[in-house]
């Protein structure tokens, strides 16, 4: 097994120097997700400005993969239109489900392409997906709330 395929520089970098970490206000939805098999946790908030995700803030504990993934997510999604963010989400989920057979699109996934190696480690895929699942949940809640208010 090639350990450096899993622990790419980019991943270790995001792990050691996470981007956008910490919970911020205001926010439209706040979710808490856990990975029951290993106890990794994340609290994630999204703030909306119309159709745009104006901020993703998060806090949590977990392994390098789960923490780096949240940092990459913050960078990728903040400032994007909801629909675009969900497209990135879909691309990342597809990559993670690809058992290492999918060639990621760097245009769409940017730093998240570094996670391609993770897809070969079934035990770690859930770590990488934790924050992304939380994002999807938070966006859905935020959108639903907004609809109620209108």
Partner 1 sequence: MTTLTIPAGMPQYDDKPRFDVERVRADFPILDREVNGHRLAYLDSGNTSQKPRQVIEAVADYYARHNANVARSVHTLGTESTELYEGARAKVAAFIGANSPDEIVFTKNATEALNLVAHGFGSHADDPRFRLGPGDEIVISEMEHHSNIVPWQLLCQRTGATLRWFGITESGRLDESNLEELVNERTKIVSIVHMSNVLGTVNATARITQRVREVGALLMLDCSQSVPHLPMDVVDYDVDFIAFTGHKMLAPTGIGVLWGRQELLNAMPPFLGGGSMIETVKLTGSTYLPAPARFEAGTPPIAQAVGLGAAVDYLTEIGMDAVAWHDKELTAYALDALATVPDLRIYGPEVPVGRGATISFTLKGIHPHDVGQVLDSLGVQVRVGHHCARPICDRFSVPALTRASFYLYTTTDEVDALVRGLEQVRKVFA
Total residues found in the chain within this entry: 150
Options 43, 110, 121, 140; binder of partner 1; rule CB under 8 A: 121
* 26 forms part of the interface with partner 1 (CB under 8 A): no
CA gap 130, 133 in Å, rounded:
5
Structure tokens at 12: 């270790």
Kindly state the smallest distance separating residue 27's Cβ from partner 1, in Å.
24
Structure tokens at 119: 């897809």
Structure tokens at 46: 């999204």
Closest listed residue to residue 57, CA positions, set 27, 32, 34: 27
Structure tokens at 34: 């856990």
Which of 129/142 has CB closer to partner 1?
Answer: 129
* 62 forms part of the interface with partner 1 (CB under 8 A): yes
Residues binding partner 1: what is the number (CB under 8 A)? Answer: 20
* 117 forms part of the interface with partner 1 (CB under 8 A): no
Structure tokens at 20: 């956008």
* 127 forms part of the interface with partner 1 (CB under 8 A): yes
For partner 1, the binding residues (CB under 8 A) are 1, 3, 6-7, 12, 37-41, 61-67, 121, 124, 127
């Amino acid at each position: 097994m090639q350990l450096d395929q899993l622990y790419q520089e980019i991943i270790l970098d995001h792990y050691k120097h996470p981007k956008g970490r910490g919970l911020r206000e205001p926010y439209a939805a706040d979710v808490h997700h856990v990975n029951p098999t290993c106890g990794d946790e994340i609290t994630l908030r999204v703030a909306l400005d119309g159709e745009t995700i104006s901020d993703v803030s998060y806090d949590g504990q977990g392994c390098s993969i789960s923490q780096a993934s949240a940092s990459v997510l913050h960078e990728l999604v903040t400032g994007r239109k909801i629909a675009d963010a969900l497209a990135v989400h879909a691309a990342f989920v597809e990559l993670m489900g690809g058992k290492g057979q999918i060639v990621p699109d760097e245009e769409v996934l940017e730093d998240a392409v570094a996670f391609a190696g993770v897809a070969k480690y079934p035990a770690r895929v859930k770590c990488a997906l934790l924050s992304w699942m939380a994002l999807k949940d938070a966006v859905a809640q935020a959108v639903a709330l907004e609809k109620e208010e209108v």
